[in-house]
Amino acid sequence: MTLANIICIKWGTVFGPEYVNRLYSGVRRNIDYPVRFMCMTEHAEGLHPQVEVLPLPSEPYQHDMDAALAVANRQGAMKKVSLFRKGLIPDLQGHVLGFDLDVVITGDLTQIYDMAPGKVCMRHDWTEKRKGRPTGHGSVFRYNPELHGFLYKDIAGNAYSEVEQARGSEQRYTSHKAMERGCFEYIPETQVVSFKYDCNGFPLNYLRAPKLPADARVVCFHGRPKMTDALEGYRGSLLRYSKRCAWLYDHWIARSEADLGGTGHDLS
């Protein structure tokens, strides 16, 4: 039986356990396989019992990484590199689909999970594509630690240089390394969308409520507004204004409550 290996990372306290639980619910409701859902964290309180907890490691290269990130003005980033270490996940069979916590699952993930065996898969980053640069976006990432352990080894072997070369960008490091090895493929752009660019772009954000594109499987809330901002509407900068988003409550909270029980804040 094929088992879908799903992983996320929750470090610090910016995101509460409800983000993990809602992500878990969204994934298992939208994929054709039984799910092994894992969260790497130092704060496991409130997670659903079926979420498998992996300890957040203390990496030997952390000092050098932090020094390079400070120069790049990205201190605290690149924690996800630990996920690429071969042997991190016990009894792992097959590849892994990873998510950031500021995403909402809105459609079938099976095609993304199954695509391009043996390759690292990410969506083309919106800003980088606009500038003509080949960089993946890190909110959704498909990889195999058995095949792509170099993503961990290269950092572990020379953290300062690797971070400096990637200009402190985790998604640039991951996608460019995989591209150099000839093992990278973009996830179709219609399947992983941006809330601020694809659902609520300026100037239509002033005229209508945010729309959910027909083929969207994952909506990324990178930058602002975040999900909690967009639920009832958001007044940030001129470009980031948002009317109330009704479909967001349905996909992120209501369906998770129906699936797991609870109030949406405590789905454990």
Q: Residue 35: how many CA atoms within 13 Å on its side-chain side?
A: 23
DSSP per residue, 222-268: -SSS-HHHHSS-B--SSTT-B---HHHHIIIIIHHHHHH-S-SS---
In the prediction, which pLDDT does 264 show?
A: 45
Nearest Cα residue to 85 out of 145, 138, 19 = 145
In the prediction, which pLDDT does 195 show?
A: 98
Give the relative orientation of helices 150-157 and 170-180 as an angle to the nearest 10 degrees.
Answer: 110
Q: For each of the chain's 268 residues, which pLDDT tens digit applies?
A: 689 999 999 998 899 999 999 999 999 999 999 999 999 999 999 999 999 999 998 888 888 888 888 887 765 567 899 999 999 999 999 999 999 999 999 999 999 999 999 999 999 999 999 999 999 999 999 999 999 999 999 999 988 998 888 888 899 999 999 999 999 999 999 999 999 999 999 999 999 999 999 999 999 999 999 999 999 999 988 889 999 999 999 999 999 999 998 744 555 4
Q: Where are the domains of the chain?
A: 4-101+108-188, 193-260
Nearest Cα residue to 184 out of 126, 143, 153, 225 = 143
In the prediction, which pLDDT does 242 show?
A: 95
In the prediction, which pLDDT does 2 show?
A: 82
In the prediction, which pLDDT does 46 show?
A: 96
In the prediction, which pLDDT does 179 show?
A: 98
**CB–CB of 84/7 below 8 Å?**
no
In the prediction, which pLDDT does 70 show?
A: 87
Contacts of 114 (CB under 8 A, 6+ apart): none
- φ and ψ of 217, to 5 deg: -105, -35
Neighbours of 42 (CB within 10 A): 13
Q: Of all helices (H) and strands (E), which one includes residue 39?
A: strand 35-41
In the prediction, which pLDDT does 267 show?
A: 58
In the prediction, which pLDDT does 239 show?
A: 86
The architecture (CATH level 2) of 4-101+108-188 comes to Alpha-Beta Complex (3.90)
